[in-house]
Every structure is written in C-alpha cells, then in structure tokens.
Amino acid sequence: MNFENTLAFAQSMDQADPLHDLREDFLFPQQNGKPFIYLCGNSLGLQPKAARKVMEEQLNNWENLAVEGWFEGDTPWMFYHKELKKMMAPIVGASVAEVCPMNTLTVNLHLLMVSFYKPTATKFKIIMEAGAFPSDQYAIESQVRFHGYDPATAIIEVAPRTDEYTLRTEDITDAIATNGNEIALVLFGGVNYFTGQWFDMEAITKAGHAAGAMVGFDLAHAAGNVPLKLHDWNIDFACWCSYKYQNSGPGGISGIFVHEKHFSDGKLNRFAGWWGYQEQQRFKMEKGFVPEPGADGWQVSCTQVMPMALYYASLQSFEKAGFMEPLRNKSKTLSAYLFFVINEVNKVLGEEQYKIITPITEVDRGAQVSIIAKQKGREVFQGLVANNVLGDWREPNVIRLSPVPLYNSFEDVFTTGELLLDISKKLL
C-alpha cells in the first residue's frame, strides 16, 4: 500500500476500516479534558465499557444469592469459566478443552513447569531467549534451583547476533539442535516484550520436539495480539495474561493451554487443588486426586469470579470483531503505517533520530513498534505524554508504541507522528 503522511489519508483509512467503530466500546483516559491517544495496550489494555456492567451483574449475584451464586442465577459461578473457554479458544487456536482461565501468569508458568519440566541426570537444561521478561527469568531460575541445578549451567540463553536487536530463527533452532542431548525444556516468549519480535513458534516447537524436549510459551505479549495455532503447531503448553491486548484489567486473570495429547498422561506431575478435581465428584470431598479431563484439571483454587467477569467483558469485543483474522488484518496495516510515519519524521529531521528495532516483516511482528531514541529519549517521551500520547518508556532509550486494532485508529498514528516531529524539532 502507498501510504501518505496526511490527515486526509489517515481519516480515509479510518472510514474504510470495518473495525473502526469498535473503539467506541472502550474508555480512554483523559488529560486536560482531552482523551489520550493510547498506545500502551502492550502493557495494559483499555477498559471495555462492558466491564462495569458485568461486574455489577456479579456484584448483584453476590448480594442477592450469596453462597447460592455458585449454583443459582443466570451465570452460576461453578461453571462460569466454561463461558470464557469458548471465547478464549479461537484467540489462541485451541480446542475448548485445551484452555482454561485461572490464577495469574507467573503462577501458571510455575504450575505448568511442574508438569512439563522433568529434568534427568543427562537432560536437565532449559533453553530460552536472552532478555526475556524478568518474571520469566526469575521463574525459570527458581525452578532450576528447586530441582538442584545451577542456573548458570542449566539455562541456555539465545541472544541476538552482534549489532542486531532481534533473534534469527535459525540461531534459535541451531542452539536447540546443538544442545539437544541436554535440553529438557524449550521455553520462549511468543512475542518479545522489548522489541516486539514475534518468534516463529512452529519452527521452535518442531526443533524442540526433534531434540526430545518439551516446548512451552509465555504468550503475555502474543495472546490477543497475533494469530496463534497452539494446537496445530503441536505446542505442549502455554500461558498468558489477559490484561494487555485482551483488556481484562490490571492483574487480570491468566489463561493456560495444554495440548490434548497430554490429557491421558498419568505420569505428569501436577500440583493439585480441589478445583482441578473431577467436576461431578468434587463436592464429595474425597481423598485421592482425580483430575477433571482437559486443561481444567490443572486448576488449583476455585473460580475467581470477579476477574473472570472482567475478562468476559473484554472477550465480547473479540467476538464482535470476528476474533483474530479481522483484527490481524487491521493490525498489520496499522503498524505498517506507524513504521511509515516514524520514517517520515526521520526524513524531515535529516537523520535516523528514531531507530526502529521491531522487525518490519509482518510475520515477525505484532501490534508494537519499538524505537531507540538517539538523543533525549526520556524528554521526547515526556513530551508525547504532555501532548496526550501515552506509550511506554523502557530504559535506557526505547519508546514502545502499540497501535491496537480494537481501539486505535490511523488518525491516532498520524497525529502521533506529527507530535513526535514537533517535539523533536523543539528538543533536538
């Protein structure tokens, strides 16, 4: 597509966008009486207008039904997670049985590693991306130590080549093959939080399985952002938070995926709790854990009704959009327009003041564009915020901008570029 750096062009793109009206389903933060151009959905998504309604419904159930709410009313809490599962599955490319909303992300990562990280004397290493989000690093380090190994020797990190910012798929798969005799688990992010790189999850999974390892993914920055096919890609397990691209509110409930091929494996370790016990026998309170079939069998504690209600409100927007294919189509063009606008800013400034480190190739990125500010990055970022553009700052010099197809527009992108140029002229 031939982009134009004009307001008229951006507005024409919005008029032709079949998803444009979805932004009316969300609440935008305000500053000085004006809404922000919100480009921070990769950190915390906006509040759906439906959130207040679903929360009020559940508060009313609590008020009017109290403990009977577990089995009475329009949405009995005992089975509430099943409504979410139907809407979660298309977002991650799974069957309904393979997903479950529960807990929070790092808790789920630990629970799944209990099952799928099974080190032996010879195969005990975990391979991961260098520079993964800190919570993943801490979780993996602690799991390795729990099994009696030293993270310095049991964790293999794959880093970008010198003077590069993103990983090459062949470097990941080569590292897996080279260390295959020692690797028990391959655990990557789906999308790197810093650069926005979307890893070739299918290729990584194939390489991991060829090496005889289990393969899992942290999809915090991928679920609801890029189209996923967790079942078809034969991934063993995955987990994600729902408060970024899926807009379920701060600290929102997490989701898990377990491939159906593992459902009948009685040798998998599992930290059990009563909500993972078989549903029809749960309230008999008997000894001896018998898991509910499917991903539901990894549940530990009872349904978190209020966080699930907020997630349900957000999932309605995905359903309204037609799930991931229409959103992805818009996202690719929206992000490409942001690439174009930033490059236009650099042209006017006469130098590459803003270096884009997110892959330009569509299959290698999602709804995030990360830029390195050559000079006065913090001041530039603060200038954007002062002018009602809210992105995300990462030390030492990176600004992350996330054009989310559910609620961002092409006019948002154009205006951001105009403000970035104006601020740069004043500061540099």
> Domains in the chain, ordered, with CATH?
7-35+325-427 (3.90.1150.10), 54-320 (3.40.640.10)
Query: pLDDT truncated to tens, each residue of the chain (428 aa)?
Result: 899 999 999 999 999 999 999 999 999 999 999 999 999 999 999 999 999 999 999 999 999 999 999 999 999 999 999 999 999 999 999 999 999 999 999 999 999 999 999 999 999 999 999 999 999 999 999 999 999 999 999 999 999 999 999 999 999 999 999 999 999 999 999 999 999 999 999 999 999 999 999 999 999 999 999 999 999 999 999 999 999 999 999 999 999 999 999 999 989 999 999 999 999 999 889 999 999 999 999 999 999 999 999 999 999 999 999 999 999 999 999 999 999 999 999 999 999 999 999 999 999 999 999 999 999 999 999 999 999 999 999 999 999 999 999 999 999 999 999 999 999 999 98
Three-state DSSP class for residue 37: strand
> Which residues are paired to 215 by β-bridges?
186
Helix (H) or strand (E) holding 116, with range, is helix 105-116
User: How far is Cα 144 from Cα 326, in angstroms, rounded to an integer?
Assistant: 41
- Name the burial class of residue 150, with classes exposed (0-12), middle (13-18) and buried (19+) by CB atoms within 10 angstroms of its CB: exposed
Locate 221 and state its tokens: 């920055």
Number of Cβ atoms within 10 Å of the Cβ of 133: 18
Write down the residue that tokens 């062009």 correspond to: 9
Sign of torsion, CA 194 51 384 381? negative
Three-state DSSP class for residue 125: strand
